[in-house]
């Protein structure tokens, strides 16, 4: 995947307005692969050039001078729509930007996130890429100078497999990460993906240790050779190569915990513009958004030109075929998908990601504790709505919302062989001898049930390609009573316990389908009865429903 702009955003956050102190202490690696111990270090304040006003260059494409917008790019397949809209990297009279808005675009190779943000702050690059989760940091850093407050114009793509978390041999799952050291390849203590995953499993970021190495090959060597590293948050090609026994990067025993193919609506890449340019040239913003939507449609229909442009721009040794492989990690957003992402009523969209990131970063001390920023401060909705009103894209269909592969679900022969990407235990209240509860009840127990299920439904939204397995368990308070009656009585009671717990799981499934509109095909159930207790001292803790998210890869 691309290098994260969060790194550069953190730099910006530290220096604008005099340089804020970064209060979180994390681990920094020694020489990768040297066997040296990992040591603690504080992040020192970093500095970049100050903020200035933007200035648009101009270019004459044969019909007189027109504004020229330079956009810096690192290596990432999600930019394919930009190459398609522009007809390559150079300014072109044949580009959608020129045709729709009489301005030109030039794509500039720039792998450094810091340099990209310096260019944004100085006005050299007034439009850049960012991840939606980085926007609270960027807003906090720029809000003192209204000229550079970011305005999100639209959605480039979702990462669908380009990012993931790898585990070392012996690490079974999320709970095994407590007290362990995790490597993340971005210049912040945590990536948003990791923070989100920890939160879903009830793990505080302070329960783990973090090492950062921004250079992918060096991070790979550290993951391979350091016995202290338990997990690595990384991107392709490292995700693939580490698990491929034929690859030189293969790490024996490593396995994939979760990827953005599982959580396919979590990591969203957006394009942002400086507030001053957005206000000065709204007609350019509308044309830019419509051109990007047009570019995404072109890639879907006939990607050859975009792939050729990417291969040339990135100097890919594998040519267009290698560029095509880069597209496997992304889902380019069309108009209905982008509108869904930014809709206020989308519980897993831009607004929720912004607010989640804000709270995570407040907890870490990266954002001030009194920070309370509304997503609308950075979302510029009018260009996207203008694209909808134009009627040009009326035939486009929302494919990300229906990304669950039903055929794969129907073909599952053995659920136990599927990869569990996340597992939660939730305790739902059921009265004795009842297989259901009344969701309309005002009791606190039932309200807590609904709060827990609401969280599961949200997780299912972010993880739109997974199957969810509901595993019912009963409290073990009567186990000894039945054992005292003899083996046959216990066997019969144990079988009945499995049946009861299965029916309770089926009730939960029915409720999720009816109340949260989850596809029934995405939920399977199992009853474990008294098996797999989690507490010998408190039998009531065993009355629970375990939620497993299973990957179909």
pLDDT of residue 4: 52
Bridge partners (DSSP) listed for residue 210 = 182
The answer to whether residue 136 is domain-embedded is yes
- Give the separation between CA 352 and CA 342, rounded to whole angstroms: 10
Domain edge (last residue) among 230, 259, 288: 259
Q: What percent of the residues of the chain are helix, what percent strand, and what percent coil, each to the nearest 5? A: 45, 20, 35
Is pLDDT above 70 for 7?
A: no
Residues 485 and 375 occupy one common structural domain: no
Please answer whether residues 105 and 161 qualify as being in contact, where contact means their C-beta atoms are separated by less than 8 angstroms.
no
Task: Let me know whether 429 and 536 are in one domain.
Answer: yes
259, 286, 309 - which closes a domain: 259
Quote the pLDDT of residue 407: 63
Report the 10 Å Cβ neighbour count for 402: 11
Distance CA 133, CA 246 (A): 35
pLDDT value of position 49: 55
Q: What is the pTM of this model?
A: 0.83
- Has residue 7 been placed in a domain? no
One domain for residues 455 and 505: yes
* Whether residues 134 and 272 fall in one domain: yes
**532 and 484, same structural domain?**
yes
What are all long-range contacts of 92-100, with beta carbons under 8 Å and residues at least 24 apart? Answer: 92/61, 93/61, 93/62, 93/63, 95/291, 96/290, 96/291, 96/294, 96/295, 97/69, 97/287, 97/288, 97/291, 98/61, 98/66, 99/291, 100/287, 100/290, 100/291, 100/294
- In a domain, residue 51? The reply is no
**One domain for residues 447 and 538:** yes
Same domain, 294 and 152: yes
Residue 424: closest CA among 552, 256, 530, 549: 549
Q: Are residues 168 and 151 in the same domain?
A: no
In angstroms, rounded to a whole number, what is the distance separating the alpha carbons of residues 230 and 340? Answer: 37
Q: How far apart are CA 512 and CA 16, in angstroms?
A: 46
Show Cβ contacts of residue 354 under 8 Å, excluding neighbours closer than 6 positions.
132, 133, 135, 136, 373, 375, 378
> Domain limits at 31?
17-46+163-259
CB 205 within 8 A of CB 190: yes
Cα–Cα distances in angstroms (integers) from residue 37 to residues 25, 168, 209, 213, 239, in the given order: 17, 18, 13, 15, 25
Specify if 186 maps to a domain: yes
Alpha-carbon distance of 163 to 142, in angstroms, equals 28
What's the rounded Cα separation, in Å, for the pair 553 and 411?
Answer: 12
Q: Which percentage of the chain shows pLDDT scores above 90?
A: 56
Query: What pLDDT digit, counting tens, does each position of 193-244 carry?
Result: 999 999 999 898 889 988 888 788 999 999 999 999 999 999 888 999 999 9
In a domain, 460, yes or no: yes
The CATH number covering residue 273 comes to 3.40.190.10
In a domain, residue 3? The reply is: no
List pLDDT tens digits, range 339-396.
Answer: 999 998 898 999 999 999 999 888 888 888 888 999 999 999 999 999 999 999 999 9
- Quote the pLDDT of residue 535: 80
Give 395-420 pLDDT, tens digit per residue: 999 998 877 766 666 555 555 567 88
Query: Residues 345-353: contacts with CB within 8 Å, 24+ apart?
Result: 347/458, 347/461, 348/265, 348/458, 348/461, 348/462, 349/265, 350/132, 350/152, 350/155, 350/268, 350/270, 350/375, 350/379, 351/375, 351/379, 352/458, 353/132, 353/133, 353/192, 353/266, 353/268
Q: Considering the domain boundaries, does residue 524 fall inside one? A: yes
Res 42: pLDDT: 42
CATH number of the domain at 501, please: 3.30.1330.60
Q: Do 171 and 217 sit in the same domain of this protein?
A: yes
Domain count, the chain: 3
Same-domain check for residues 361 and 302? yes
pLDDT over 50 (residue 165): yes
Q: How far apart, in whole angstroms, are the C-alpha atoms of residue 439 and residue 431?
A: 13
Q: Do 252 and 383 have their domain in common?
A: no
Tokens of 284: 């350019």
Q: In whole angstroms, give the CA distance from residue 495 to residue 531.
A: 10
Q: Are 121 and 103 members of one domain?
A: yes
**Domain closes at, from 259, 289, 324:** 259
In a domain, 52, yes or no: no
Q: How far is residue 27's CA from residue 209's CA, in Å, rounded to a whole number?
A: 7
């Amino acid at each position: 995947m691309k290098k994260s702009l969060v790194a550069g955003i953190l730099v910006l956050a530290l220096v604008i307005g005099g340089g804020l102190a970064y209060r979180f202490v994390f681990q920094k690696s020694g020489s990768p692969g040297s066997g040296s111990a990992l040591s603690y270090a504080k992040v020192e304040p970093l500095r970049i050039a100050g903020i200035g006003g933007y200035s648009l260059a101009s270019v004459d494409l044969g019909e007189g001078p027109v504004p020229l917008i330079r956009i810096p790019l690192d290596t990432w397949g999600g930019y394919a729509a930009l190459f398609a809209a522009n007809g390559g990297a150079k300014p072109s009279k044949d580009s959608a930007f020129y045709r729709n808005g009489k301005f030109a675009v030039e794509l500039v190779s720039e792998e450094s996130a810091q340099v990209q943000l310096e260019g944004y702050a100085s006005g050299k690059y007034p439009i850049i890429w960012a991840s939606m989760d980085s926007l609270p940091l960027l807003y906090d850093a720029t809000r003192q100078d209204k000229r550079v407050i970011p305005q999100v114009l639209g959605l480039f793509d979702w990462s669908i497999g380009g990012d993931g978390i790898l585990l070392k041999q012996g690490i079974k799952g999320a709970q095994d990460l407590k007290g362990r050291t995790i490597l993340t390849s971005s210049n912040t203590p945590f990536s948003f993906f990791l923070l989100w995953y920890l939160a879903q499993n009830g793990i505080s970021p302070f329960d783990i240790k973090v090492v950062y190495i921004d250079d992918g090959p060096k991070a790979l060597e550290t993951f391979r050779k350091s016995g202290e590293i338990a997990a690595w948050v990384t991107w392709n090609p490292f995700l693939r190569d580490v698990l491929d026994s034929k690859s030189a990067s293969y790490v024996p025993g490593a396995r994939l915990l979760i990827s953005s193919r599982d959580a396919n609506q979590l990591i969203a890449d957006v394009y942002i513009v400086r507030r001053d340019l957005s206000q000065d040239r709204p007609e350019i913003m509308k044309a830019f958004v419509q051109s990007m939507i047009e570019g995404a449609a072109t890639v879907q229909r006939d990607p050859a030109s975009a792939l050729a442009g990417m291969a040339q721009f990135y100097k890919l040794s594998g040519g267009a075929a290698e560029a095509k492989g880069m597209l496997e990690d992304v889902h380019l957003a069309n108009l209905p998908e982008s509108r869904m992402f930014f809709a206020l009523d989308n519980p897993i969209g831009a607004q929720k990601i912004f607010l989640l990131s804000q709270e995570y970063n407040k907890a870490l001390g990266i954002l001030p504790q009194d920070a309370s920023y509304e997503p609308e401060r950075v979302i510029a909705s009018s260009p996207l709505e203008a694209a909808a009103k134009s009627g040009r894209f009326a035939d486009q269909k929302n494919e990300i919302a229906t990304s669950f592969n039903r055929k794969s679900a129907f073909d599952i022969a053995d659920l136990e062989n599927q990869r569990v990407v996340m597992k939660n235990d939730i305790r739902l209240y059921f009265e004795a001898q009842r297989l259901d509860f009344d969701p309309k009840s005002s009791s606190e127990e039932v309200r807590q049930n609904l709060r827990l299920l609401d969280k599961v439904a949200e997780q299912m939204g972010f993880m739109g390609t997974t199957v969810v397995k509901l595993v019912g368990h009963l409290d073990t308070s009567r186990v000894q009573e039945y054992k005292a009656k003899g083996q046959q009585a216990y066997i019969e009671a144990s079988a009945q316990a499995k049946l009861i717990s299965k029916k309770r799981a089926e009730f939960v499934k029915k409720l999720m389908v009816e109340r949260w509109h989850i596809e029934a095909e995405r939920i399977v159930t199992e009853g474990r009865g008294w098996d797999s207790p989690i507490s010998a001292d408190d039998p009531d803790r065993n009355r629970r429903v375990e939620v497993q998210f299973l990957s179909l890869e």
